[in-house]
Structure 1
Amino acid sequence: MLRNIKTASNNVMNIASRVKFPEKFKGTFLEKWSNYWKNLFIDYRQALQDLRSDIQDEPRKALIWTTTLASIYALAKNNPTELDFQDNLKRITNEVALVSEDCRNKASIEHLRHIDMSYNQGVIHYRNLGIASIMYTSELNESCDLYKIQCSYLKPAFYTFPSRIIDVGFMGRWWNIYIKTANYDVNE
């Protein structure tokens, strides 16, 4: 594959060197535009040739970089969204509703009620961090216009943020709701 890149770039350069602009286009926008694209192609061809030589010189390093980039891409592609969280929450809530109240796990029910209450109050928020996502709560709704939400001295401190995180989404799953509701039908 790397040889094909080199031969293809050489073929394109041979064609580009044979094509000449007519005299009436010399010094015009078209000549400048073609020179720009030709120089850009030369730069990228040189970068690919350098990449090829680096891969041949240090194959372990290239393997590590390739694996790391592929892993980051896979994690970002499987990062759950807020819609996934809501879908998961509704599915689990419907499953819990089918279980008798005597059999329900109280910790699971309290967690589901806290999430529902946060949604009803409008204080739950979603953040996408690239390879992971978080759901967290704030003290007041964003549409609230009280003095408490406008005053910078009354805003929550940064170190209290971990206690306000409801769930962390990673590798296609919301983990806290999965762990807390795994045994929703087992009453202690």
Structure 2
Amino acid sequence: MLRSLAKTSARVPNLGSKVKFPARLKGTIVEKWADYWKNLFIDYKQMLIDLRNDIQDEPKKAFKWTVGLGMLYLLGKNNPDELDFKDNLKRIGNDIVMVSEPCQNPKSIEHLRFLETCYNAGVIHYSNLGIASIMYTSELNDSCDLYKSQCKYLQPSYFSFPSRIVDVGFMGRWWNIYIKTSNYDVN
């Protein structure tokens, strides 16, 4: 691929000198449009040539960048969403129902009841951060129209936000619900 790029870079200047506009199109928007695309192609061609030279000069650095960008892409691709959270919550709830009440872990049951209460009240929210996701609670429902929900002095501070985080989704899994309900049948 790098060799074909080098051959292409030699052909482009010759192609630009061979293409001539008729006299009636000179100075019109068509010529300006063609010049724009020609200059854009030349800029990208030069960028790819510089990239090729950088890769050849420092292959370890290029490998590190490639692995890092690949990992960011995979983390973003495997980032769980709110539907995954709800599905996980329902699946674990169905599994816990099959266990007799004396054998259930009280901490798991308490956490699931808290999440169900938050969903019923409409105070649980989802936020996508690109490579990770968070589920957090607010004090009031979005449809609530009380004075407390509109007054900026009564809004929660940014410092209280970490305490309102319910779960963190990363690498295709919601970790808090996984940790708190992994031993749901152990009392």
Classify the TM-score, shorter chain.
Answer: over 0.9
Distance 2:10 2:137 in 1: 58
Count the aligned residue pairs.
Answer: 187
Higher mean alpha-carbon deviation, 117-126 vs 64-73, is at: 64-73
Distance 2:97 2:15 in 1: 71
Question: Where does residue 127 of structure 2 map in the other structure?
Answer: 127
User: Percent identical across equivalent pairs?
Assistant: 68
Question: Where does residue 72 of structure 1 map in the other structure?
Answer: 72
- Offset of residue 111 of structure 1: 0.4
Question: Where does residue 19 of structure 1 map in the other structure?
Answer: 19
Listed one character per residue, the Cα deviations across residues 66-122 of structure 1 (whole Å, up to 9, x for unaligned) are 111111111111100001101111111111111111111100000000000000000
Distance 2:63 2:129 in 1: 26
Q: Any unmatched runs of 5+ in structure 1?
A: none
**Counterpart residue identity of residue 6, structure 1:** A
Does residue 101 (structure 1) correspond to residue 98 (structure 2)? The answer is no
Question: Where does residue 138 of structure 1 map in the other structure?
Answer: 138
**Local SS of the residue matching 1:44:** helix
Question: Where does residue 112 of structure 1 map in the other structure?
Answer: 112
Q: What are the within-5 Å matches in structure 2 for residues 162-173 of structure 1?
A: 162-173=162-173
- Offset of residue 9 of structure 1: 3.5
Q: Any unmatched runs of 5+ in structure 2?
A: none
Listed one character per residue, the Cα deviations across residues 42-80 of structure 1 (whole Å, up to 9, x for unaligned) are 011111111111111111111111111111111111100
**Counterpart residue identity of residue 174, structure 1:** W
**Counterpart residue identity of residue 45, structure 1:** K
- Offset of residue 14 of structure 1: 2.9
- Offset of residue 37 of structure 1: 0.4
Higher mean alpha-carbon deviation, 119-128 vs 159-168, is at: 159-168
- Offset of residue 137 of structure 1: 0.2
Taking structure 1 as the reference length, what is the TM-score of the superposition? 0.95
**Local SS of the residue matching 2:169:** strand
Question: Where does residue 34 of structure 2 map in the other structure?
Answer: 34
Distance 1:185 1:10 in 2: 70
Question: Where does residue 44 of structure 1 map in the other structure?
Answer: 44
Listed one character per residue, the Cα deviations across residues 113-148 of structure 1 (whole Å, up to 9, x for unaligned) are 000000000000000001000000000101111111
Distance 2:17 2:78 in 1: 46
**Local SS of the residue matching 2:153:** helix
Distance 2:27 2:111 in 1: 71
Distance 1:26 1:102 in 2: 87
Taking structure 2 as the reference length, what is the TM-score of the superposition? 0.96
